[in-house]
Structure 1
Amino acid sequence: METARQHPRPDGHAMRLRTSDGVDIAATHEPASSWSTELAVVVAHGFTHRGTSDAVRRVVDVLRRRAGVVTLDLRGHGESGGASTIGDLEVHDVEAAVQWARQAGYARVATLGFSLGGAVVVRHAGTFRDVDAVAAVSAPSRWYYRGTKPTKRLHRALGWPLGPAVLERFYGTRVARRHWDVRHPETWCPEPRAVVGAIAPVPLLVVHGDSDPYFPLDHAHDLADAAGEPVELWVEQGYAHAENAAPPQLLERISGWISTAVGVPCQG
């Protein structure tokens, strides 16, 4: 991990983080509009996205009104090294960002993840237990789900011999294919619903749309039902999936929830 600074730079900057399992991760820190070091939010993007995606930038713009923001390219995505394990080893990527924020002087650190990133922040918080609040949006509760047309297409693509090459060529996403192979259960890791209970008593927010084309509402209910208190479940009418579909009003509400959950007064 990069050398920590005692105070975050006010102008924001790109950086490289080194995970505990040796992967080089691209990340960016942007301070709160007020330059406050009360709260940092680590944002984990969805599959095939990256920290600089337009949809992620919209999230950052809202969060920065109240908090410093650390975005990262999860392994196998964008400018980061390694290969995507679709929710397993990515917990180390989030942990590197959390530890950077702590060492940079932030008093409280929360995580916010979308889709794949939502599963990652749940697993991260249930494993490392070193954050002050967690928000998971459009997150799957279990692995190898194929109950919708988009998830069936994704599994077919990853099972196709040229599928990983196509993902890398057109999306810049490199996949550790063995993690997606149901014939190799030794690569499986605990599902989000299996570890979500360990997050308590850290506040958890689960957000899911009733029009999600990837993961139906039972995924959100699985997570909320298995979580300990305090947990909130927001079912959003007409909301589809992840950061691409998140309206500004929802992002503002999530930002406000995070501030309230960690005890930082909302200022806008």
Structure 2
Amino acid sequence: MPDDSTTAITCTTFELPSPDGGPPVRGDVRVRQGHRADAAIVFCHGFKGFRRFGFFPNLARAAAQRGFAAVTVDFSRNGIGPDGADTFSAMHLFTEHTHTRNLDEIRRVTDVLARGALLDRPARRIGLFGHSRGGGEAVLAAAADPRVNALVTWAAIARVDRWTPEQVAAWNAGGNVEIENARTKQMMPIGPDYWRDLDANRARLDILAAATRVTVPWLIVHGDADASVPVDEGRQLFDAAGEDTELLVVEGADHGFNAKHPYAGATPELRVAAEATLEWFETHLD
């Protein structure tokens, strides 16, 4: 994955009304200057992530260099405010996030791409990319949307129910559960509606069951040194998936493929993951 290039890339910021009438879905579209892209890749961030986190802008830029429209998205309740700052200035929105809301917003972005509202033409083919929780949600979205033509997940979760009995008890009592952001040291509150949504939509949010229904080409990438989402979850997804699926285990890679935020350049592990990803999309979105 190149960190710079002589290829000129145009980056356009957009806002879409949220499907539930709440805060907008914000994003960036990157395209190669002078190129009319008709295949798009939607990039879905994970828990405590955002569209300009770490490797996301550079990976999107590399995808645009290869001729795709690269669409990076902020989920409406990810805690990032209108200023786009990485300090989570809208933490009150983070409290309201749910998995089904994120899925509805992925579909919203897919809808506008299919109609041609974000590009100068309808997207002929659409790929989904997801990291961590966003990877699990991309699996769910790909299994449910026939307009998705290819899928890549990095360090994807295989299940959404990852919470302790104490945390569940706090939600059931109507309280928030706070999770520390190791980077910013902020305590990030998750409201009880998150748990109600999960509990009421277990069938829709069953990632391993969805994996059996993914029919498009799917590349699963996972680091064998991932302490946040163990590589066994990547293997579980691979075991559940169909024949048109490949598993790439990157030796020595942690949850972020050893890259950091602020982004300081591609690591060897990130380059392996990125090159495999770009080749996958080039092969299956042609």
Instruction: Give me the TM-score of the superposition, normalised by structure 1.
Output: 0.78
1:227 aligns with 2:205: no
Q: CA deviation at 1:176?
A: 4.0
Letter in 1 for 2:157: P
Q: CA deviation at 1:203?
A: 0.8
Task: Report the equivalent of 1:44.
Answer: 44
Q: CA deviation at 1:180?
A: 3.5
Task: Report the equivalent of 2:218.
Answer: 204
In 2, the alpha carbon distance for the partners of 1:179 and 1:113 equals 20
* Residue deviations 1:216-266 (CA, integer Å, cap 9, x gap): 22211211111123111111111111466461332122111111122x2xx
Task: Report the equivalent of 1:72.
Answer: 73
1:114 aligns with 2:131: yes
Letter in 2 for 1:40: A
SS at match of 1:31: strand
Letter in 2 for 1:98: T
Q: CA deviation at 1:54?
A: 3.4
1:211/1:240 contact within 8 Å kept: yes
SS at match of 1:76: coil
Give 5+ residue unaligned stretches, structure 2: 1-8, 83-92, 260-268
1:63 aligns with 2:63: yes
Task: Report the equivalent of 1:247.
Answer: 270
Task: Report the equivalent of 1:5.
Answer: none
Fraction of identical pairs, as percent: 21
Task: Report the equivalent of 2:5.
Answer: none
1:89 aligns with 2:112: no
Task: Report the equivalent of 2:87.
Answer: none
Letter in 1 for 2:48: T
- Judged with a 3 Å threshold, the aligned counterparts in structure 2 of structure 1 residues 172 and 244 are, in CA distance, closer, same or farther, namely farther
1:76/1:174 contact within 8 Å kept: no
Task: Report the equivalent of 2:85.
Answer: none
- Judged with a 3 Å threshold, the aligned counterparts in structure 2 of structure 1 residues 198 and 79 are, in CA distance, closer, same or farther, namely farther
SS at match of 2:148: coil
The root-mean-square deviation of aligned C-alpha atoms, in Å, is 3.2
Give 5+ residue unaligned stretches, structure 1: 1-9, 147-151
Q: CA deviation at 1:103?
A: 2.1
Q: CA deviation at 1:53?
A: 2.2
Q: Provide the aligned length of Structure 1 versus Structure 2.
A: 243
Which deviates more, 169-178 or 122-131? 169-178
SS at match of 2:100: coil
Q: CA deviation at 1:95?
A: 1.2
Task: Report the equivalent of 2:147.
Answer: 130
In 1, the alpha carbon distance for the partners of 2:210 and 2:176 equals 33
Which deviates more, 23-32 or 186-195? 186-195
Which deviates more, 17-26 or 88-97? 17-26
* Residue deviations 1:39-66 (CA, integer Å, cap 9, x gap): 2110001211211223321221222211
Task: Report the equivalent of 2:19.
Answer: 20
Task: Report the equivalent of 1:7.
Answer: none
Task: Report the equivalent of 1:11.
Answer: 10
In 1, the alpha carbon distance for the partners of 2:240 and 2:100 equals 19
1:212/1:240 contact within 8 Å kept: yes
2:61/2:70 contact within 8 Å kept: no
2:125/2:147 contact within 8 Å kept: no
1:12/1:28 contact within 8 Å kept: yes
Letter in 1 for 2:209: A
SS at match of 1:64: helix
SS at match of 2:130: strand
- Judged with a 3 Å threshold, the aligned counterparts in structure 2 of structure 1 residues 174 and 220 are, in CA distance, closer, same or farther, namely same
